[in-house]
């Protein structure tokens, strides 16, 4: 998908990587952090948040644009178009914050945007591969995130990886 968007829209996408491979991370911490509730926040920080923040520290007052929407609920229900990110001294911009699911689908169709192939396989919210499962019809779009860290039928458990400051990252 990254390569398709880079070609189609002539974007210069920067790909970031964590300091450690998954294997090195497991060796250093003695376990696969993503397999336990107490390790999940650290795993997300090491693999997602830290590489992004390290990259953004090289920028002056960076602006990070995301696709978060209020309709996604939880902490996102209070999203503003622009919000401060105290981690970077910059801003997070959420230009779709007030869009409905129908508006998103309509825009995708109208502009013939490519969809990630996992969407058609039941992944409306895509995170890291070991922590994301397909969502069954009728389930919340984020139900597949960190499912392995919740008891069946339990809605409690990890909700966010904290890469987005507005989700609680850095707080």
User: 101-155, pLDDT tens digit by residue?
Assistant: 999 999 999 999 999 999 999 999 888 889 999 999 998 888 898 999 987 777 6
Fold of 2-165: Rossmann fold (3.40.50)
pLDDT tens digits, residue range 148-170? 998 777 767 787 787 877 776 54
Q: Give the model's confidence band at 4: pLDDT under 50 very low, under 70 low, under 90 confident, else very high.
A: very high
Q: Which residues contact 128 (CB under 8 A, 6 or more apart)?
A: 34, 44, 47, 48, 161
**Average pLDDT value over all residues in the chain:** 90
Would you state the pLDDT for residue 102?
Answer: 95
For the chain, domain boundaries: 2-165
> Residue 26 and residue 106: Cα distance in Å, rounded?
43
């Amino acid at each position: 998908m990254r390569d398709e968007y880079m070609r189609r829209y002539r974007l210069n996408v920067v790909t970031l990587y964590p300091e450690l491979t998954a294997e090195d991370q497991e060796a250093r911490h003695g376990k696969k952090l993503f397999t336990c509730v107490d390790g999940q926040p650290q795993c997300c920080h090491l693999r997602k948040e830290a590489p992004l923040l390290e990259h953004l520290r090289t920028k002056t007052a960076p602006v990070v644009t995301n696709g978060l929407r209020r309709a996604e609920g939880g902490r996102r229900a209070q999203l503003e178009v622009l919000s401060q990110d105290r981690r970077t001294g910059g801003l997070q911009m959420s230009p779709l914050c007030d869009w409905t699911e129908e508006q998103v689908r309509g825009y995708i169709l109208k502009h013939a945007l490519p969809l990630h192939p996992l969407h058609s396989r039941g992944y409306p919210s895509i995170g890291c591969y070991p922590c994301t499962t397909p969502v069954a019809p009728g389930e919340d779009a984020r139900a597949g995130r960190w499912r392995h860290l919740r008891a069946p039928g339990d809605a409690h458990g990890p909700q966010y990886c904290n890469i987005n400051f507005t989700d609680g990252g850095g707080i």
